[in-house]
Amino acid sequence: MNLDAAQLNRRTLLKRGALGALAFEVGGRAVMLTAAEARAESLPLIVLSAEEAGLVDALGRAVVPGADEAGLVHYLDHQFAGDPGAALLMLRYMDVPPPYADFYRAGLNGVDATAKREFGRSLPALDEDEAHTLVGMITGGDPEGWEGPPAALFYFIFRADAVDVTYGTVEGFERLGVPYVPHIAPLEQW
Amino acid sequence: MDKFSSEKVDVVIVGAGASGSLIAARLAEAGKSVVLLDAGPGWVADDLISSQIWARRLRWGGAPVQSVGGHPYAFTFNAGWGLGGAALHHYGTWPRLHEEDFRVKSLYGKALDWPVSYEDLQPFYDRIQEEVGVAGDAKAEIWRPEGAPYPLPPVPSFGQGEIIAKGFEALGMTTAPAPMAVLTEPYKGRPACVYDGWCDAGCPINALWNPLISYLPRAREAGADIRPRSTVLRVLSEGTRATGVEYINAESGITVQHASLVILAASAVLNPALLLNSASDTHPDGLANSSGKVGRYFMAHAIASVYGLFEEETAVSLGLTGAQLTCRDGYKKDLREGMLGSYQWLIAPAMKPNDLLGIATARADLYGKPLEDFMRQAVNHMGNMIAMVEELPVEENRIELSEDRDANGMRIPRIVHAFSDDALKVWGYAKAEGLAVFEAAGADQPWNGPLGSAHMMGGTIMGDDRTASVTDSYGRTHDIPNLVIAGPGLFPTSGANNPTFTLHAVTLRATDHMIGHWSDYAG
Ligand SMILES: Cc1cc2nc3c(=O)[nH]c(=O)nc-3n(C[C@H](O)[C@H](O)[C@H](O)COP(=O)(O)OP(=O)(O)OC[C@H]3O[C@@H](n4cnc5c(N)ncnc54)[C@H](O)[C@@H]3O)c2cc1C
Ligand code: SF4
């Protein structure tokens, strides 16, 4: 799909809005894209580095199948870049003070260090079974040698974001066969 | 008046949530000049986007609040900000407190008594339910105290509600439609609910009561000056009089609003924080704190969630986020050996796939393929209910100030909270009962969620004894006659019932008193 910002008229914006779109910058203009579209377009990231994005993708896939394609990386990056008072992250409910990216960075590093310790490779290089085993190691508490926020809290938060992007959108509901029936469909001009 | 005029007014109210909006409407209509300040955005109904993700921006987004103790309280989840406050996105479950909740100390020798009885509040409950539009079946609710019948027929029960009710029936227990501040038919120009289960994100069609529907428009109509994004930093005082508040707003910077009467309606956590942050030479321990009780007796409800998968279709994503049915067979506090406290069941709340109270979180241990398999089954076959358990007041559960400062230089509030043994035991009892109900209803291997907390009460309790409480029964502080506190922070006990109907009744009674005795307040 090749998205030209100029092609997006209000009708398509509304249609896209109904899919849970976020405002991204394309060629200096704000356009509404779903996180999945932003990923497909490889839109540049604002806060996350390429390496961090690789970790989010790999962990997202292992925790909630489909989270990577649903655009978890762009969703998180977009949230980190905005005003914390308007953030949509589940972390907001945990009374963890901003900047929120710090919490994720520390958690991702903790998971990657565990991957290296246990499997001798970085998280993105693990196969599906190894990644599944690795996630199991952080669900119950801090694995040995863990550094970062409490592992179980990081797992809970990261999983919740991945669930949001995968199952909590209009497309996600559709995938599960749940009627969305909104009063006002997700649309935001920020 | 100019947009940010600091000209002295009759009343300045801090917080445009449930209690602040009601007071603003009543006092403005009584001819008082009113300024209503809220830290958060100026929400309108169109902001209530049906999405569990977008709903999060309606929660507290102001200065940080710390939470510590044996059971740290989830502040942000339970707090609102902006016009409407938490009431903008509350679920509208509106039971009255029971008679015994007002006399716990007298009846059981433990906890506290209120300085008012249920009989004192009953006429105010009746007035409020008529105005707001509460749906229910007063006869079927066999535990309900005296009161006028509900103005609207009860909410329907379907899917998971019908299935779970059979479990209660099998165990010889009673269920009744949950009393809800939700319209089951058109009422006063507002439409009926369509049971799509989006209440947690706010109800933009106005079927579920919130302050944007009438109190805020009424206040505005009567001339109240409503200023969102205006965070009050401290209450100003001279001797035993409050003189106004100091607040910060991006456009006006730091501004002083003088007023004859200052009313704090900024939630059970942030009201005491403001009082403590308003310490001065004359009030070194914080305003209105000669008793040392400001911040003390903070209470939350302990939550036990029960889940199960049923063979039948449950339509779990539809209905109301609050509940379809209730059971209060276990309400009486001394029914259980070795523990004191009430609980109620809120049966068959709607669940969406995501979010803190969503389907995926109910099995937070699952990830990868097993999670996906679970989701596909659960969206059609899951049922759930929650026990809301009373927490008796304990002085050590408190709001205090940490040494850390926020961006405005104010000391950051800290909530210190642990559930008492009584609450934990009643929670355990209710959880076991819930699992038995689900088994009786045919659930396959029902399970329960971790201990949760909901609602905030206490922290600025009312009482007759000025050495043991912060305010009188109208919310007027014992120390400073023109400083009033509003909201569930005034409750000396929490009962096991959701607080907002009671806080409306208490607030309505207080506004009648203020209007009838104006010179005593503003003098
Ligand atoms: C998810 C959820 C579901 C709920 N469901 C129910 C239910 O079903 N039934 C029920 O009875 N109750 C329910 N409640 C509780 C109900 O919302 C509260 O009891 C009620 O809103 C409390 O009213 P209040 O006036 O004390 O405060 P709020 O309504 O929270 O309003 C306080 C306001 O003060 C403002 N404020 C805070 N500090 C400052 C400051 N320094 N300066 C300026 N403004 C400030 C805030 O921005 C906020 O808008 C629910 C709450 C939540 C969060
Ligand atoms: S279910 Fe009813 S009360 Fe809840 S948001 Fe929808 S229409 Fe409003």
Question: CA of A92 to nearest chain B CA: how many angstroms apart?
Answer: 7
Say if CB A183 and CB B196 are below 8 A apart.
Answer: yes
| Strands (E) located in B228-298 | 230-238, 241-249, 253-264
Q: How far is the CA of B12 from the centre of ligand 1 (A)?
A: 18
Report how far ligand 2's centroid is from the alpha carbon of B52 (Å): 14
Question: What is the Å distance from ligand 1's center to B267 Cα?
Answer: 6
Per-residue pLDDT of chain B (523 residues; tens, 9 = 90+): 445 567 899 999 999 999 999 999 999 999 999 999 999 999 999 999 999 999 999 999 999 999 999 999 999 999 999 999 999 999 999 999 999 999 999 999 999 999 999 999 999 999 999 999 999 999 999 999 999 999 999 999 999 999 999 999 999 999 999 999 999 999 999 999 999 999 999 999 999 999 999 999 999 999 999 999 999 999 999 999 999 999 999 888 999 999 999 999 999 999 999 999 999 999 999 999 999 999 999 999 999 999 999 999 999 999 999 999 999 999 999 999 999 999 999 999 999 999 999 999 999 999 999 999 999 999 999 999 999 999 999 999 999 999 999 999 999 999 999 999 999 999 999 999 999 999 999 999 999 999 999 999 999 999 999 999 999 999 999 999 999 999 999 999 999 999 999 999 999 999 999 999 999 999 6
Query: Would you say the C-alpha torsion A102, A103, A106, A109 has a positive or negative sign?
Result: negative
Please state the pTM of the whole predicted model.
0.94
Within 10 angstroms of residue A120's Cβ, the number of other Cβ atoms is 8
Start-to-end CA span in chain B (Å): 23
- Protein residues with CB under 6 Å of any ligand 1 atom: B 14-20, 37-40, 78-82, 85-87, 89-94, 231-232, 265-267, 270, 274, 322, 455, 487-488, 498-501, 503
Name the residue type at position B418.
A
Exposure of B519 in the CB half-sphere (CA atoms within 13 A):
0
**Cβ separation of B74 and A94 shorter than 8 Å?**
yes
**B371 touching A (Cβ < 8 Å):** yes
B195 CB less than 6 Å from ligand 2?
A: yes
- DSSP per-residue string spanning A135-179: HHHHHSSPPTT--SS-HHHHHHHHHHHHHHHHHSSHHHHHHHT--
CA distance B226 to B244: 16
Chain B, 232 to 271: residues with Cβ < 8 Å from chain A are: none
Instruction: Determine whether A5 is exposed, middle or buried from the number of CB atoms within 10 Å of its CB (0-12, 13-18, 19+).
Output: middle
Cβ(B299)–Cβ(B155) below 8 Å: no
Which residues neighbour B209 within 8 Å (Cβ) at sequence distance 6 or greater?
B87, B92, B132, B133, B181, B182
Torsion angle of the four alpha carbons B104, B108, B109, B115, in this order, in degrees rounded to the nearest 10: 20
Instruction: Indicate which atom in ligand 1 lies nearest the CA of residue B81.
Output: 47
Residues of A in contact with B318 (CB under 8 A): 179, 181
Residues in A lying within 8 Å of B, measured between beta carbons: 20, 62-66, 84-90, 92-95, 97, 132, 135-136, 139, 156, 159-160, 163-164, 167-169, 172-173, 176-188
How many degrees, rounded to 5, is the angle at CA A82 between CA A80 and CA A84?
A: 80
Beta carbons within 8 Å of B145's beta carbon, 6+ residues apart = B96, B97, B98, B99, B118, B122
Place of tokens 């300085």: B115
Helix (H) or strand (E) run with residue B66 in it: strand B66-68
Residue nearest to atom 4 of ligand 2 (CA): B199
- What is the ipTM for the molecules in this complex? 0.92
Distance from CA of A44 to the nearest CA of B (A): 23
Residue B40 has, within 13 A of its CA and on its CB side, a CA count of 24
Mean pLDDT per 10-residue section of chain A, whose length is 190 residues: 33 40 61 70 87 97 96 93 88 86 97 97 97 95 94 97 95 94 72
- Per the listing, tokens 């109210």 go with B13
For ligand 2, the distance from its centroid to the CA atom of residue B145, given in whole angstroms, is 27
The CA distance from B476 to B496, in Å, is 25
